[in-house]
Amino acid sequence: MTTPKLFLPKVFKGIALFTPGGDLIYCIDPNKQGRWHLHLCAALQEILDLTEPPHFLVPCYTATVDHWLDPHTQQIRTFAEAYPAVLQHQALLNAIFHTGDLIWQAAPWQDGLCDRMVLATYRSTFPQLWEDHDLIVNLDLSEKAPKYYPPVRTTQNIQQKNQCYVLRLFIAGHSANTERILHNLHELLERSLGYPYTLKVIDVLTHPEQAEIDQVSATPTLVKVWPQPIRRIVGDLDNAEKIFQMLGAAEKL
């Protein structure tokens, strides 16, 4: 059975803001309005209970993608760039923005713009930003509140009716196959899972300690961390029915 793909506007601008700890907040805006970075910072302030919006993260931890109509050819064109600190997340960016295997360009870098020592001075004031909350936020201002997925430590207090899922996808390096898996898995969960979820991508080549903690010995491996019991799928991530059996979700494809 074939299922319809998610439809994004043909013309839109996407903006993603990362934290030093690896959390992500992003938006997909068909109106291409300005000041989205301010909205993202304000949302991070609310979600992570910060004393003020973390404007110092912009632009050092940002990535942007622009789907625009070329007036000469009447064709949709795409331009995507990310700052060096977040270029490593290209596979994740392609998954949330549905840009296939797009290669993101490095944003223009200016000496002194994102000095790591200067950014580190904010760590004592904003310690939450240097923590990894397994957080992925899709900010949509057309809704009353942003969609966000709570940290693992808070999910134990959530009742069944407000259930959320915490998932970890273990990969070994970034390749075309990795991006395909990310895209398909993100699309499946967005389309068919009736609960909020967090999907954290972990490269075992750069984070072997996390693979050891989660007892991962082969890739790709999808681990359901919450709700318990912990379950996993190794290798076959194209089988949607198998994934939903692992999640224990009641939704039908």
- Give residue-wise pLDDT tens across range 54-109: 988 988 899 999 988 878 888 888 899 999 889 989 989 998 898 888 899 998 77
Cα dihedral sign, 9-10-11-14: positive
**Neighbouring C-beta atoms of residue 228, cutoff 10 Å:** 8
**Neighbouring C-beta atoms of residue 181, cutoff 10 Å:** 21
Answer yes or no: is pLDDT of 151 > 50: no
Mean pLDDT of 152-158: 34
Mean pLDDT of 142-156: 42
What distance in Å separates the CA atoms of residue 151 and residue 155, rounded to the nearest whole number?
7
SS3 149: coil
**Predicted TM-score (pTM) of this structure:** 0.57
Q: Would you state the pLDDT for residue 163?
A: 55
Q: Is 138 exposed, middle or buried (0-12, 13-18, 19+ CB in 10 A)?
A: middle
Which residues of the chain form CATH 3.40.30.10? 165-247
Could you tell me the fold of the domain covering 165-247? Glutaredoxin (3.40.30)
Contacts of 199 (CB under 8 A, 6+ apart): 136, 167, 168, 169, 185, 186, 189
